[in-house]
Amino acid sequence: MLSNLGRELQVIELAQDLIDQKIDSSYLNFLLGRSYFYEKERDKALKYLERALEMDRENIEAENLLDKLKS
């Protein structure tokens, strides 16, 4: 929901807090990657999108955005 409102920095902060608490998932990493993509932080976006795909090879959203970044 925050991302839909353009509040990517809040998404990043909340997601990082969850990861720091050892709560991690493919979707959470996708959200981080997408938020960093929107914030024009390409290297961080790549890192989290790749991590999302390592956790779940069928995360099509992460795969599509990763392909877009690499092209």
Which CATH number is 26's domain given?
Answer: 1.25.40.10
Alpha-carbon 20 to chain mean position: 15
- Integer CA distances (angstroms), 28 to 12, 24, 71, in order: 10, 6, 23
Confidence grade of residue 2 (pLDDT, cut at 50, 70, 90):
low
Whether pLDDT at 20 is above 80: yes
Q: How many domains does the chain have?
A: 1
CA–CA gap between residue 60 and residue 69 (Å, rounded): 14
What is the residue range of 61's domain? 3-70
Q: What is the pLDDT of residue 8?
A: 84
The answer, yes or no, to whether residue 46 has pLDDT greater than 70, is yes
Helices (H) then strands (E): counts for the chain: 4, 0
Under DSSP, the state recorded for 41 is: -
What confidence score (pLDDT) does residue 17 get?
A: 93
